[in-house]
């Protein structure tokens, strides 16, 4: 993959990606890094300088646990696994992320339509409202139409 195609991490997403990677099975630190790169289709590159502090933080929060083991090349390595609290956090954070993605999609999909109205896709409907919003208008002026 060309370097220019790699995407920077969105602030606050690394912990969620680590939890997801470990939900697929225990890994040593560098393995977590490689797993995230692999499941992102090589679009994300995680720096070790970001990864290890995040692993430390998640372990101290009780979301992951670690134990020493031997790596594939017979070296001592710390292996991380998801705890039950980590599984709960992954489910909660995934739900929040999916909801925020929907909201951002709606916001970014909003377009101006005609004279002075905005349109936002909401499922199989669309919300239409005046662009000159004021306290007097309120929600009663928000129309929802079938697409």
Identify whether residues 91 and 139 lie together within a single domain. Answer: no
Residue 101, Ramachandran bin (φ over 0: left; ψ between -120 and 50: alpha; else beta) = alpha
Considering the domain architecture, whether residues 114 and 93 belong to the same structural domain is answered as no
Same domain? For 10 and 56 the reply is yes
Q: What is the DSSP annotation of 66-129?
A: EEEEE-TTS-EEEEEEE-HHHHHHHHHHHHHHHHHHHHHHHHHT-EEETTTEEEEEETTEEEEE
pLDDT tens for 26-72 read 999 999 999 999 999 999 888 889 999 999 999 999 999 999 998 88
Domain that residue 50 falls in: 3-106
| Residue 123 shares a structural domain with residue 52 | no
Number of domains forming the structure of the chain: 2
18 with 78, same domain?
yes
Report the predicted TM-score, pTM, of the whole model to 2 decimal places. 0.74
- Answer with the residue of higher pLDDT: 104 or 145: 104
């Amino acid at each position: 993959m060309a370097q220019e195609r790699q995407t920077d991490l969105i602030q606050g997403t690394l912990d969620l990606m680590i939890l997801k990677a470990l939900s697929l099975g225990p890994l040593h630190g560098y393995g977590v890094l490689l797993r995230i790169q692999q499941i992102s289709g090589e679009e994300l590159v995680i720096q070790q300088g970001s990864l290890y502090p995040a692993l430390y933080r998640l372990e101290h929060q009780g979301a992951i646990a670690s134990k020493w083991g031997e790596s594939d090349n017979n070296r001592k390595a710390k292996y991380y696994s998801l705890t039950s609290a980590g599984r709960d956090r992954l489910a909660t954070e995934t739900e929040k992320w999916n909801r925020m993605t929907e909201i951002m999609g709606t916001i970014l999909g909003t377009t101006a339509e005609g004279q002075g109205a905005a349109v936002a896709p909401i499922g199989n409907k669309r919300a239409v409202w005046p662009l000159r919003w004021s306290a007097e208008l309120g929600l009663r002026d928000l129309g929802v139409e079938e697409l």
